[in-house]
Amino acid sequence: MKRILPIGGHKNVLLFLHSGILLALTLLPLLLMRGTEHSSPAWGREPPFTEYHFKRLGVRLSFPSAWRVNLQPYTGEEVYYTIMAAGEGATMLVQGWKIKDLKGFIDTSLLSAPSIDAVSVLPYASGGYSGYFLAYRQHVSEKKVFVREILLRTGEGRVTRFVLIMGEELHEEEERILHRVVESFRQAVSFRPLYG
């Protein structure tokens, strides 16, 4: 079965690549920290696949038919850098983004993801920056992980994103660490992307 998904422009390629890279960076450390005892599924037989044709990208991909496939629309975001830190039972990412409409980004990109539920979005401010605090659960490999995010406007069109992934249990200690990391954040006036 073929599905044709209309998408527009070369900018969608960048978002598609960024989304894949971000998903891998977000989930890989968590899965690695969980050990390998249960990390590889036993494939008794190959599941049926469905082919997806992204015409404007010139890309065809096949995914298991039971999977949900979503192409996120490009709304002007770019990731400038990712800093990753991991501790026992938790992984944290700090990312510099170019995002013009932060609330729109949260509504269309984060909150619309099918693997996310139990979402809470609250205003947040720290160190002269303002933005949002997000608390949600994300389904990863048949498990639910607790995630906390703080997204702060840190310049014209710039957002710094702090992501804390805590695994299957919610720990207040790690959440306090997230707030302390955010409070320690300082940005040089001459911020520039590391590439491009």
**Residue keyed to tokens 């999977």:** 67
The CATH number given to whatever domain includes residue 145 is: 3.40.1000
57 closest CA partner among 15, 99, 22, 109: 15
Q: How confident is the model at residue 130 (pLDDT cuts 50, 70, 90)?
A: very high
How many domains are contained in the chain?
Answer: 1
15 vs 103, residue with greater confidence: 103
Instruction: Report, as an integer, the average pLDDT of 155-169.
Output: 88
pLDDT of 6 > 80? The answer is no
Quick check: is 112 in a domain? yes
| pLDDT 10s digits, 34-57 | 443 333 344 456 677 888 776 755
Residue 165, domain extent? 2-37+47-184
Quick check: is 119 in a domain? yes
Quick check: is 179 in a domain? yes
In this prediction, what percent of the chain has a pLDDT beyond 90?
18
Residues 122, 125, 129: CA angle, nearest 5 degrees: 130
Tell me the C-alpha distance between 53 and 152, whole Å.
36
Quick check: is 27 in a domain? yes
Quick check: is 193 in a domain? no
175 closest CA partner among 128, 113, 120, 102: 120
> Looking at the whole model, is its pTM more than 0.85?
no
Quick check: is 57 in a domain? yes
Quick check: is 194 in a domain? no
What's the whole-number average pLDDT of the chain? 72
Quick check: is 17 in a domain? yes
Tell me the C-alpha distance between 91 and 147, whole Å.
10
